[in-house]
Every structure is written in structure tokens, then in C-alpha cells.
Homo-oligomer: A and B are copies of this chain.
Amino acid sequence: MADKQVGKEKRLTIDELATFCKRKGFVYPNSEIYGGMSGFFDYGPLGVELKNGIKQEWWKSHVQQRADMVGMDGSIIAHPKVWEASGHVANFTDIMAKCGKCGNSARADHIIEDKAKVATAGLNAQQLGELLVKHKLKCARCGSDQLRIAQPFNLMFKTTIGPSEGSESVAYLRPETAQLIFANFRLVQENARMKLPFGIAQVGKAFRNEISPRDFLFRCREFEQMEIEYFVHPNKIGSCPYVAEFGDYELNVLTSDMQKKGSNDHKRMKVSEMLDKKTILPWHAYWLAFEHRWLTGLGAKAENLRIRQHVQTEKSHYATDTWDLEYDFPFGWKELEGIANRSDFDLQQHIKVSGKDLSYFDPETNTKIVPHVVAEPSLGVDRTFLVFLFDAYEYDVKRENVVLHIHPRLAPIKAAVFPLLSNKDELVAAAKKVYDELRQEFNCFYDENGSIGRRYARMDEAGTPYCITVDFDSLQKHDVTIRDRDSTQQKRVKIKELSSVLQQLLSGKKNFGEI
């Protein structure tokens, strides 16, 4: 299938991106040979490298490089009490519409948004039910208009632990990684001797039994999260020592007030202006700006990002305030990262249900306190993967192929190595030698098939930032041509300097013009 010729003006649809991802080996539908499995995907050879790159860059910038952060990795299946305490057993539900005629069930908000084109964010069951009737919405299976609000559907996947004879019981696949952090809060804080304010970070899979998974990787049943719980002394939630560095940082902002007035258009604001107008609390502003800078630093486009405050009715049961970092997906502005203020809700719940002391001993005041989570940056790995691909994708009219301008630090393949001709043994041998050496340090790809132009095109599509060609001059002068993906500029580099040149390019210490 021909690739959509999407340049800088026009953007891909999500289905077009899915097609591209399958063709290049980024992402496949899970179990495709058995007809697929809705809401589940497998990452192919390029996809696994990009996904791992995202997770590693996140860990480096959010954990390793920060003195106030420490990591952990909890299990996917935990004690069911964890999910009772958190409120997920009672509250983690979707509002369903059930057909009174044929019994078919679907998410009420999706039916209304798809068929009546009405926004449903923050509406309760009664309001959704009224919209079903008002717009005379019909059952997708039998066409009857007997759609009525039904029992809420809990989104946690259930399973059974131990022999099925009742000796052990129901457990859940975690619907978020966050609760593992709360359950282990005291152990982690004591082991790592962390002092407030500090964060605990975690990366891992989570599962939600979505009624209607949709939009490729956007809403999956199995997905991966990069989450932080950032803990602050309850007396110090009003100020943030780090936010000053973002004073002049500009964000596209949509507050709940603006939405209440009926607007869905964000406006550009400086962080300092938001703080002056008390639009947002300092810790919240800090984390939104920090996350925004991380995403744009790795290639997300600032014009496709905005921050949006949740309106009162759409907030989760645990949140006192939530801001989403939204991305302008082809299907609208949608949550990329949610940053909730969970206050002390979760720790207090676990204290209450477990009967254990999860407080923090404050050495300054010699008192025990329960910290507040002023911000919970919760970023989807798969959604971030989509964002980096969308903002990297360009159909280059001059080259007549797709160029994936993915950030070199995230590129699945860092360099490709080609012999100029595949039928000259000495070129092939020299190119393989270069490849064998570079591969020790970088993810590389060797290719001798087709013309050099065709090989460049394949690597442009894979997002490979540098292509190295071994030619007849190389045999005499021990140098090679290195070609830059984005500019197509070429330079000669000594073979013995290749590794350090690549290191400098990939680390950003030099750009291509400087080598």
C-alpha cells in the first residue's frame, strides 16, 4: 500500500499511522494470524527499540538525574485489598448503555459522542441517559431505540489465584501502577532514606477491560505507564522551590473556568502569569512544565500540546485537581498525560484499610505526618510512542518517501552501514567490519540490497539518523561517507573516528554541521 503523502501541512489519520507501523515493523495487531485481538498490540523490531528508548530516556531524566526521585517496580497482580482501599473496586467503572430489546451493551459516552456529536466529559449517569433519549440514539446491533443506562461496568480484569477450589480468591490485574507506590510508600521511603519533598517513579504494564478499545494504541486494554507519585509535606503544598526555573516557560492553557464559559480554545500563557493569577498551584505548574519540556525536548511539537484542567464533574474519585497534558491527535485533543493532585487520599485509605502506619517522620518538627501527593504525572508509554511518531512523520515530496524525523536518542537504529556495491567483495568486507565494530556500541543495521538511494529511503522510513557508506575511496583513505537523515547532507569521516563522532551526534554534543 502506498504511504499517505503527508507533509508538514497535512497530518496522518490514526489508521494511516497504524498501517505505516505494521509495514515497517513498529507495531502489529496482536494475534493477527488468528484474526486479531481488539485492544492488544505487539511491538515489532523497530517498535520495541523505540518503546524501550522512550522508557529509558524517561527513567534517566525523571529518576537517575533527579536527587529527589527514586524508582520501584511492583507486580501487576497485587492483593485485592489494595484495590478496595484505592476505591477501584467500587468506583473504577464505565457508564454503560444497554439495549432493552437485544441486550447489547456499549459505553454510553461513546454512543453519544459518536452518534450525536455531543461532548460528554464530566457527565453523570443520569445526564448521559437523558442525552440517549433526547437524541433518539439507536442500538448498534439491532437498531432499536431502547437504549437505557445500565449497571456500571468495572474496568479491572479479574482472575483467580491458586487452585480453583475456593481456597484462594479473586485478584485483579492492576488498572494503574500508582497503587503499588502507595502500598510500598513507607518501605521505599525508609530504604532509600528520602526526605520530603520527593517522588517515587514506576514504569510498567497496566490493564483496563475497555468496552470499546479504539484508535490504535490510544485506548488499549493492555498498555504501559510511566508514573510518579510526588510527595510533599502537607504544610508545604502551597509553594514549590523548583517552579522559578519555568517562570518564562509558555504553555497552551485551557482552564476549567474557560470551559465553563463554553470555550474549548486554549490560550498561550507563561507559567509566571498562571501563578500570579492563581490559575494553578505551583507544584502542579512545575510538573506540567517539566513534562512538557521533556516531551518537546525529544521531538514532540509544542503547537500540538496544551494543558487542560479537568472540570469538576470529570475528576476521578481521588483527585482534588487534575490537569491533562493533551495532544492534538487526528481525532481531537486528548489526554496524553494526566497530572492529578491526589492529596493524601491514597495513603489515608491504605492506612485505614490496612491498619498500618504509613506516615512519615518529619525530622524538622519531630512529628509524624501523612504526605500529600501534589502531583501524579501519569504518562502513557504507548500514547507517547504515538506522539513521537506523529510529530516525526513527513512524506518528503522531493525524496518521494517517508522521512521519520525521530529524535536521534530515540531512533530505533542509530546508524546503517552500506557497501557502495554488493558485488565487490572488498567493499562488502570493509563495510561488514565497520558494522561489526559499531554494533558493539550502537544499534546498527547492515544493508547491501538494492541501490544506495533505495537503502537511504528504507532508513529514512525507519527514522535512522545516520547512514554510512563504504566506497572505493574508503579502501585507500580509511574514511567513509556519513549522511544525515534530516538534511541529506553528507560528510567524510575517518573510520577510526566514527564511533566517537556518532557518540557526539547522538548525545547532542555536536550537530551534523560541526563534525
Contacts and interface: CB of A to CB of B under 8 A. Distances in A.
Interface of A: 22-25, 28, 30-37, 39-49, 51-52, 56, 59, 64-67, 70-79, 81-82, 96, 103-105, 153, 157-163, 165, 167, 171, 173, 180, 183-184, 187-188, 191-193, 205, 207, 209, 211, 221-222, 350, 353-354, 356, 358, 435-436, 439-440, 442-443, 446, 449
Contact of A105 (B24, B96, B165): B165
Contacts of A188: 25, 44-45
A195 to B, nearest CB: 11
B153 A173 contact: no
B75 A40 contact: yes
How many chain copies does the complex carry?
A: 2
Contacts of A70: 45
A269 B353 CA distance: 58
B163 A31 contact: no
Given A25-B191, A72-B44, A222-B77, A33 B157 contact: no
Which 4 pairs across A and B sit closest by C-beta, in order of nearness? A25-B191, A31-B79, A43-B73, A33-B354
A59 B52 contact: yes
Task: Determine chain A's interface SS by DSSP, over half rule.
Answer: mixed
Contacts of A46: 191
Contacts of A436: 67
B76 A222 contact: yes
A52 B202 CA distance: 12
Contact of A193 (B31, B157, B184, B449): B449
Contacts of A41: 75
A187 B25 contact: yes
Given A165-B105, A439-B67, A159 B173 contact: yes
A222 B34 CA distance: 26
Given A35-B79, A449-B193, A51 B65 contact: no
A86 to B, nearest CB: 12
Given A25-B188, A34-B183, A44-B192, 9 more contacts: A31-B81, A32-B187, A33-B356, A44-B187, A56-B56, A65-B439, A103-B165, A157-B161, A205-B205
Nearest to A153: B163
A77 B51 CA distance: 18
5 contacts: A24-B191, A42-B72, A44-B184, A64-B443, A65-B439
B67 A446 contact: yes
B25 A163 contact: no
A51 B202 CA distance: 13
A165 B79 CA distance: 26
Contacts of A221: 77, 161
A71 B76 CA distance: 23
Nearest to A357: B33
